[in-house]
Structure 1
Amino acid sequence: MEVVAEIPGFLKVFSDGTIKRFTPKEETFQREADGAPLASPPPAFKFRDVVIDAAKHISARIFYPSKDGETPTSQLPLLVYFHGGGFCVGTTTWHGFHAFLGGLCVQCRCVVISVDYRLAPEHRLPVAYDDCYAALEWLTEPRDEPWVRAADLSRVFLAGESAGGNIVHHMTLRLMRNPVRGLGLSGLLIIHPFFGGEARMAEETAEAAQAWVQATDMFWRLSLPEGADRDHPFCRVENGLVSDDEGRRFPRVTVFLAGKDVLKSWGNLYATFLRSKGAKEVTVLVAEEEIHAHHIFFPLAEATRLLQSQMADFVHRQDAPPVPAGIYVHSKC
């Protein structure tokens, strides 16, 4: 069999259609400090895996803050996280995702649920969007799931990195057009979003970026609908039909960018697009010395702790008004 597409260490696609994915080793997800790996602190959270839809193989991992047996006495905000991986690789069980999200739930004092959606090329877009929307519907269905019951479904935040950041945008539009009764969206945290287009940004033309550009092109080739190019609205979201009314109804947004990320200009363009559509609060924060998805590869690094702190500040900002279930609101700048 011939290998027709490959991301070394993560994915191989063979000529007969066979897909082989690799789980990165735990030592992949660390950053050295003074020549030695950072020590992992004792966990201050609990986690459990749940099935969203067994027939479609949609599952999730729920993280709940718990320090020294402490149990929160009031309902906590809920942060729904969509992992990255170019829509083709990744799972919430990878050590980097697990460590980052466990730390985030503690720092943020919130319930975190991380969704495992079906992957391309076996399941091309919009399957990932469909699966993530199904997970949002699942949250409001009656069930004996105590950690979901401990979450305040009127204070829901959508977050994700790379392909997950892309999913956040498309989930927001889908919720506007097909609201999930009982779910109130309070804000979006979009990290190093995976957007693109047939045109090239300046960073993408640099010689040093070509291996990365070839990899992202391959991910889009494997995940977009058959026959679509990178100007498809799933990839180049400015080409989608977003009305000014929908733009004005966007909840507050923070777009996190990495200074050494080839996708940085696409993230900036996305923020500009939201503002052009009337979104009332769009903030861009740049970690100048960091790479794409640094918080997943280095979940114990100082830059990751800063990101977690910024996300916690966003979630718990005191001047953000409460969000009635099923209604979109935005706060002023």
Structure 2
Amino acid sequence: MSGDQTAPPVSTIDPYEYLQIIQNSDGTIKRLYEIPSTPAAPDHNGSTPVITKDVTLNPNHNTWVRIFLPRQALDNTSTNNSVGNTKLPLIVYYHGGGFILLSTDSTMNHDFCFNMALQLSAVVVSVEYRLAPEHRLPAAYDDAVEALHWIKCTQEKLLRDFADYSKCFLMGTSAGGNIAYHVGLRASTAVGDFEPLKIKGLILHHPFFGGSKRTESELRLLNTPVLPLCSTDLMWKLALPIGVDRDHEYCNPTVGDGFDQFDQIRELGWWVVVTGCDGDPLIDRQMELVEMLKKKGVKVKAQFNEGDYHGVELMDATKANALFVFLMYFLEKC
């Protein structure tokens, strides 16, 4: 698991060029690449299988959510004349991007949530949170928790009429998986604050964790074309509070009091799903988290695939469909 720390690893990749960013003198960054985006489609003519709608979360922070509702839920309501028969599991989703890039409306994130809502017959609420370094951690965690409070109180019909608040799952990809983990820790100690939301589990999809000591997979995949080590180092440098290193609890789940909070997750009976692959430099840290959870008696389901790369399901629809089949079993089990 552990790597040699005697000398810093030598990378052949410029992380700023790789991430297409420039650091400004005031500590902010300029994002050079214009990432394709997809607008929401309320769909007034019945042409899309999933209805999407954007709703403001916090105008002061410019945060918002995008709701994904399978059209079949509306059709069932019309047929049965009973909203109660159509309520679907609720997945609160946090996108990836190393805390510094991407958005809920980035096409890759939109398409992933669109297909997930359709394939899992679930209501998906994708959260737009503040990015670092303009808003360093824990800003993203705070926004993610605020979204849960908004969901529990909102009168938005797409949620009130169609989402089953007793079957809520927190899910995230990469940095979003890190967010789902930390939001889960917070929520597990204050479950009453989120009623009527009842969280059943966490889905950590290729979760983004780190640490000061290198792992074997980080060194083995030092210059991988997808998420090279120098890029994750830079992401953490820009995202973590100023003055701390990668052994801060936001980055490294083996430090801090997170381990003690697993007791609460176990007592609540939550499931934790962790998915990853052997082509991801982060796999050793993900597997280490799984072992920690198991030692604490938390119900864990892990799936680590061979031959894939970090975030592959956002790029490959076939891989995404296989993931959704796996998650369908998990949702039904819960």
Q: What is the TM-score of this pair, normalised by structure 2?
A: 0.83
Equivalent residues in 2 for 1:1-333 (5 A)? 6-8=16-18, 10-21=20-31, 22-25=33-36, 43-67=48-72, 70-71=75-76, 73-179=85-191, 180-206=194-220, 208-209=222-223, 212-241=228-257, 242-243=259-260, 245-249=263-267, 251-279=270-298, 281-298=299-316, 300=317, 302-317=318-333, 320=334
The 1-side partners of 2:48 and 2:320 are apart by 16
Kindly provide the amino acid, as one letter, of the partner of residue 241 in structure 2: P
SS in structure 2 of the partner of residue 307 of structure 1: helix
SS in structure 1 of the partner of residue 75 of structure 2: coil
Q: Residue 324 of structure 1 aligns with which residue?
A: none
Judging changes above 3 Å, is the alpha-carbon distance between structure 1 residues 43 and 304 closer, same or farther for their aligned structure 2 residues? farther
Unaligned runs of 5+ in 2: 1-13, 38-46, 78-84
State the shift of 1:219 in Å: 0.4
Judging changes above 3 Å, is the alpha-carbon distance between structure 1 residues 240 and 277 closer, same or farther for their aligned structure 2 residues? farther
SS in structure 1 of the partner of residue 228 of structure 2: helix
Kindly provide the amino acid, as one letter, of the partner of residue 158 in structure 1: L
SS in structure 2 of the partner of residue 6 of structure 1: helix
The 1-side partners of 2:221 and 2:153 are apart by 50
Kindly provide the amino acid, as one letter, of the partner of residue 23 in structure 1: E
The 2-side partners of 1:148 and 1:293 are apart by 31
Structure 1 residue ranges, 4+ long, deviating more than 6 angstroms after superposition: none
Does the aligned pair in 2 maintain the 1:5–1:14 contact within 8 Å?
Answer: no
Does the aligned pair in 1 maintain the 2:177–2:208 contact within 8 Å?
Answer: yes
Q: What is the TM-score of this pair, normalised by structure 1?
A: 0.83
Query: RMSD value over aligned CA atoms?
Result: 2.2
State the shift of 1:202 in Å: 0.7
The 2-side partners of 1:55 and 1:183 are apart by 25
Does the aligned pair in 2 maintain the 1:209–1:262 contact within 8 Å?
Answer: no
The 1-side partners of 2:206 and 2:187 are apart by 22
State the shift of 1:6 in Å: 2.0
State the shift of 1:228 in Å: 0.7
State the shift of 1:181 in Å: 2.2
Aligned positions, number: 297
